Amino acid sequence: MALSSIFFIFGALPIFLIFYFSLKPKFRIYGILAFSIWFYYVNDSKQLKYMLAIILWNYVLSLIIAHGSSHFRKTFLVTGIISNTGILFFYKYLSFTYDIVNRVWGLNIQAEVHDSMIGLSFFTFTLISYLVDVYQKKVSVPENPVKFADYILMFPKILMGPIVRYEEISDALNAPKIKANDLGIGAKRFMAGFCKKMIIADNLALLVKQVNSVGDFSHATVASLWIGSIAYSLQLFFDFSGYSDMAIGMGRMLGFRFKENFNFPYCCNSFTDFWRRWHISLSQWFRDYVYIPLGGSRRSLWRNILNLLIVWILTGIWHGAGYTFIVWGLVYFVMLVIERYMIRPKQLNRIGRWIWRIVTLLIINFNWVLFSHAEIKEGIKYCLGMIGIYYKNAFFAPADSRSLREFGLYIVLGIIFSIPIEKMFVEKISKNRIASNVTAIVLPIVYIAIWIWALSFSMLGFHNPFMYQKF
């Protein structure tokens, strides 16, 4: 059951909210847990029992880490990290590991394929951060295990994040309290994410599918490959940020404040800036639990480069078990090293900074192409085709005009809403009293119209699974 489905929006969610608000604040955590278990059961009934066992195991570990002697605390922390990463490895990376072994040693070992738990990468990182924070005494273990189960299994974020730290919502878990404006703000945020998904992401998905349908791209024009790559970059952003908006909005309606996960990443001026804006919870997780413990930038030049290499290999692997994801991570590693030690964007003049901004966006776009292909070779062919090297085809064809006529609106909307256009508009309008009053009347009407437009796609069955759900 997708968060963007009609059944969830007009059935499951309203019924749950009515039930939730009827409960006293101290009992609401039980309502969240019950609905979250049901939600996870609907989406992944075969794995629910394993999920609950993992939650119980980690709660017991956290109690030992919190109250045991120093020796036992560290031992059980390591046990927790190994057991959680071991589960992740078993479900997600075992087959890939066998493939590497077979290639290196010329063997033919066949691994049994197991269906992965939904949201496995997200809740694994959530569990590890919690155990580390308990060990470092940044957070205390809740006496009521229901609070811990809520923290891990909370339905808005369980499938695709954001990766929430326990300290960020621990107070609310005691007895979630909803302020007067939380429901309205949360609902608006939820609807914004839904519109991102249904109007922009899912329509651009059709364009990407159309471009990729040519197979080996030997008959594709340079223009069509560029159109497809830009569409994919926008689709990925609006799909994932749309989900994050929906999760943040639902959390707000329930009395929880999840941190932002995206901050207009395509407005970045460098690779460093991009990763401060894209999937913020994941970037901060790797910074706090991998990069800094390794020594961060406090060590020698070569040690710092090694730390970055480790982080970006792990970042690539986190996204998927495949060579493509490793290469994708290594590209960012190389560009960040070049940027940090050679380019130094802050030291460039105005023209130089703009050139580097353009270079950054171009390489990000090319790297998303690699990210989107299961085989590295195919991704490289696509990239070479974009610059007219690999394929000797025409630059533009009549079919490209038809694609732009059919999907151009969604590309334009994607580009427009990749920048904080609403914020800039409201700030400018607010300076004029008359315009501000008119806007206060018109904007809600516009929002409702967009919401109905998005709903029409969902009602017609026009829906694609969330892209990051597979990670």
Per-residue exposure over 314-337, b if at least 16 CB sit within 10 Å of its own CB, e if not: ebbbbbbbbbbbbbbbebbbebbb
Per-residue exposure over 219-229, b if at least 16 CB sit within 10 Å of its own CB, e if not: ebbbbbbbbbb
d(CA 52, CA 70): 28
Instruction: Report the Cα–Cα distance between both ends of the chain, in Å, rounded.
Output: 17
Known active-site residue 373: no
CA distances from 217 to 77, 183, 403 (A): 50, 48, 16
Q: Provide the residue type at 171 as one letter.
A: D
Catalytic pick among 67, 114, 219, 319:
319
Positions marked active-site: 319
